[in-house]
Structure 1
Amino acid sequence: MADRAAIYGLLGRYGTGIALLLLLGFNLIFTPNFVSWQTLNVNLTQVCTIVIVAVGMTLVIATGGIDLSVGSLMAIAGAIAPMIFMGKLVEIGSIHLAVALAIVVAIVITTLFGAFNGWLISRFRIQPIVATLVLFIAGRGIAQVVTNGNLQVFKVPEFQVIGLGRLFGLPVQVILMLIIVAAAAWALRRTNFGREVLAIGGNERAARLSGIPTGRVKIAVYAISGALAGLAGLIVIAINSASDANLVGMGMELDAIAAVAVGGTLLTGGRATIIGTLMGALTIQLVRYTLLANGVPDAAALVVKAAIIIAAVWLQERGRTA
Structure 2
Amino acid sequence: MTMQNKPVTSASEPTAFKFEWSMISRHGGVVALIAILLFNILITPNFLHPQTLFVNISQVATIAIVAVGMTLVIATGGIDLSVGAIMALSGALAPLIFTSPFAEANPELGLALSIVVPILVALACGVFNGALVSLLNVQPIVATLIFFISGRGIALVLTNGNLQTFTNPAFSYLGTGKILGFPFQGYLVLIIAACVWWVMAFTVFGRQLLAVGGNERAAELSGVPVKRVKIGAYVICAGLSGLAGLIVVAINSASDAARIGNLMELDAIAAAVVGGTLLQGGRAPIFGAILGAVIIQLVKYTLLANGVADEVALIAKAGIIVLAVYVQQARKE
Provide closer, same or farther for how the CA distance between residues 82 and 64 of structure 1 changes in structure 2, counting only shifts above 3 A: same
Counterpart AA for 1:277: A
Query: Contact 2:92 / 2:256 at 8 angstroms: preserved in 1?
Result: yes
Alignment: residue pair count: 320
- Indicate which of 114, 135, 140 corresponds to 1:128: 140
1:6: Cα distance to partner?
4.6
User: Which residue of structure 2 lines up, in the alignment, with residue 226 of structure 1?
Assistant: 238
| 1:49 aligned onto 2:49 | no
Report the equivalent of 2:175: 163
Question: Could you tell me which residue of structure 2 aligns to residue 306 of structure 1?
Answer: 318
Task: Determine whether 1:146 maps to 2:158.
Answer: yes
Match of 1:61 in 2: 74
Question: AA paired with 1:193?
Answer: F
Matched, 1:286 2:298: yes
The CA RMSD measured in Å over matched residues stands at 1.6
Select the structure of larger CA radius of gyration.
Answer: 2
Aligned equivalent of 2:83: 70
Is contact 2:134–2:227 with CA below 8 Å preserved after alignment? yes
Contact 2:267 2:296 in 1 (8 A): no
Distance 1:6 1:129, change over 3 A: farther
Whether the 8 Å CA contact 2:267–2:317 is kept in 1: the answer is no
CA distance in 2, matches of 1:122, 1:9: 35
Match of 1:214 in 2: 226
CA contact (8 A) 1:5 1:318 kept: no
Displacement after TM superposition at 1:102 (Å): 1.2
Q: Distance in 2 between matches of 1:45 and 1:77?
A: 18
Distance, in Å, in 1 between the alignment partners of 2:263 and 2:310 is 15
Give the match for residue 273 of structure 2: 261
- Map of 2:100 onto structure 1: 87
Cα offset, 1:98, TM superposition? 0.3
Which deviates further from its counterpart, 227-236 or 281-290? Answer: 281-290
Contact 1:77-1:110 within 8 A present in 2 as well: yes
Give SS of 1:194's match.
helix
Whole-angstrom distance in 1 between the partners of 2:23 and 2:219 = 28
Quickly say closer, same or farther: Cα 1:187–1:105, change in 2 above 3 A.
same
Q: Structure 1 residues 87 and 56, CA, compared in 2 at 3 Å: closer, same or farther?
A: same
State the Cα deviation string for residues 56-92 of structure 1 (Å, max 9, x = none). 000000000000111111111111111111116x455
In 2: Cα distance, 1:130 partner to 1:291 partner = 33
Q: Unmatched 5+ residue regions in structure 2? A: 1-12
Determine the C-alpha separation between the residues in 1 that align with 2:278 and 2:103: 48
- The residue matched to 2:167 in structure 1 has which SS? coil
1:104-115 superposed matches below 5 A = 104-115=116-127
Instruction: Give the % identical residues.
Output: 56
Q: 1:33 aligns with which of 19, 42, 46?
A: 46
Q: Which amino acid aligns with 1:268?
A: Q
Counterpart Cα distance in 2 of 1:121 and 1:2: 43
Post-superposition shift, 1:259? 0.7
When normalised by structure 2's length, the TM-score is 0.91
Mapped to 1, the partners of 2:21 and 2:137 lie a distance apart of 34
Structure 1 CA distance, aligned partners of 2:316 and 2:146?
30
Match for 1:200: what amino acid?
A: V
Choose between structure 1 and 2 for higher RCO, CA contacts under 8 A separated by at least 6 residues: 1
Distance 2:153 2:311 in 1: 28
- Structure 1: 5+ residue runs without aligned partners? none
